Amino acid sequence: MTCNCNTANNNIDLTKVKPYGDTLNDGQMEFAFTLPVPYGDEASEAAKNYVKQMGVNEPACVYSKDMGGGFTFFIVYGKAQHTIDYTTIKVPKVDVEIMDRVECGEYIEQNIKREVVMVGASTGTDAHTVGIDAIMNMKGFHGHFGLERFKNVKAINMGSQVPNEELIAKAIEVKADAILVSQTVTQKDVHIQNLTNMVELMEAEGLRDKVLLICGGPRVSHELAQELGYDAGFGPHTYAEHVASYVITEIVKRGRI
């Protein structure tokens, strides 16, 4: 059995969108959360009441588990009543035509006529390299090769827990066109503090207007990046070709050939 989604979409009022479970606009939602209460019937009732206070009708606690130490995990189903106007939603995005790996190499050869240098790292106390490796390492991620495999690109991955000062120093040493900052750890907004510090150091060095500054991570958006003083931000589901396409077209646009 197949679903003709185009036909189905013709019946949807995008100004009044609700969650979909079994039938259109039934509002069915699933909530997964933990409360600091001991496991038992009272805990399940507390979970249902909590979801009900969120404006969800007919909450049903379908699963609960004792997490120990007076904490209980729940899965609760319910029917949401609120709707959203999808037509009013505008999301700031990196405005660039995405080229594949080969096209990026050809663009550099035809328009920049020199090697493009990018240096990146997971900075501060962030010990995770999965993000920066996915963008920079030759093998890449999820079938998308990293910048090391791009023709006419010199990609320098400094790894994790790199102080902002060291990343900047390396960028100066290799005359980088772009600095890539990866942030995976986001508890208590530590990524905001570290990303802000990077911009402040770049400005102090007089480099902010000379090097493209880009950040990425699971909680990074283009909007947040620009608010913090970065040229662009790349979040989940973006790959090396997204970053490369932006960097090389910006180099040409800004006359940094």
> Which residues form the catalytic set?
139
The full 3-state SS of the chain, as one line of letters, equals CCCCHHHHHCCCCCCCECCCCCCCCCCEEEEEEEECCCCCHHHHHHHHHHHHCCCEEEEEEEEEEEEECCEEEEEEEEEECCCECHHHCCCCCCCCCCCCHHHHHHHHHHHHCCCEEEEEEEECCCCCCHHHHHHHCCCCECCECCHHHCCCEEEEECCCCECHHHHHHHHHHHCCCEEEEECCCCHHHHHHHHHHHHHHHHHHCCCCCCCEEEEECCCCCHHHHHHHCCCEEECCCCCHHHHHHHHHHHHHHCCCC
